Amino acid sequence: MAVIQVSRKPLTFAERTYLPQIVGGLKTTLKHFFAPNDTMEYPEQRPAIPPGYRGVPTLVYDPHGREKCVSCQLCEFVCPPKAIRITPGAINPDDPTAHVEKRPQEFEIDMLRCIYCGLCQEVCPEEAIWLQNQYSTTGLSRAEMVNDKQKLYELGGTLPDEHFKWDKKKAAEGGGHAH
């Protein structure tokens, strides 16, 4: 391949003094001196989280305090980095939510593995797992970075429910449709 020699244009006198460039640089600095800040004093200041943000995955209760997860393990199945580990279990027959029959005995999300993709939330048939606003998660050991069931419910709290699917089911049991 042919090499084309390009000769550099000689500097003008003004350029050789460097003064116009220095003045231009100072102008930019001066402008930012008075302009509003783009950065913030993290962690004292925190950014506003936009809706639809995919933060740390959490488990949620319904407004009646029932844990929504029924441990169907679809999130465990769909999780690309295999961060989720569920031990399913049965609900005690004398529990008020016994008609739901199933809940997780243990639910672990390894936040060292989680890639915040949100597939678990998307696949959840019970709307029990949500990626909420929490974005910062720290720990001093690998074990600390695994969120267990209790931690996940602490992080998740209660979210509104549009369906109350299982409450309807329980109501139907008492309704006139049994025979």
| Chain positions contacting another protein, by CB under 8 A | 70-74, 76-77, 88-90, 93, 99-102, 125-126, 165, 169, 172-173, 175, 177-179
Shortest Å distance, C-beta 146 to another protein: 17
Of the pair 20, 80, the CB lying nearest another protein is at 80
CA distances from 164 to 16, 98, 171 (A): 76, 15, 11
Q: Which of 47, 52, 61, 46 is nearest to 154 (CA)?
A: 61
Of the pair 6, 178, the CB lying nearest another protein is at 178
Shortest Å distance, C-beta 37 to another protein: 48
Q: Which of 80, 56, 84 is nearest to 72 (CA)?
A: 84
Shortest Å distance, C-beta 108 to another protein: 14
Of the pair 32, 163, the CB lying nearest another protein is at 163
Of the pair 63, 125, the CB lying nearest another protein is at 125
CA dihedral 107, 111, 112, 117 (to 10 degrees): 110
Whether residue 145 contacts residue 110, with contact meaning beta carbons closer than 8 Å, is answered with yes
Shortest Å distance, C-beta 34 to another protein: 58
Q: Which residues pair with 110 in a beta bridge?
A: 146
In order, the DSSP letters of 52-67 are: T---SEEE-B-TTS-B
Tokens of 72: 């169907």
Of the pair 30, 171, the CB lying nearest another protein is at 171
Shortest Å distance, C-beta 98 to another protein: 9
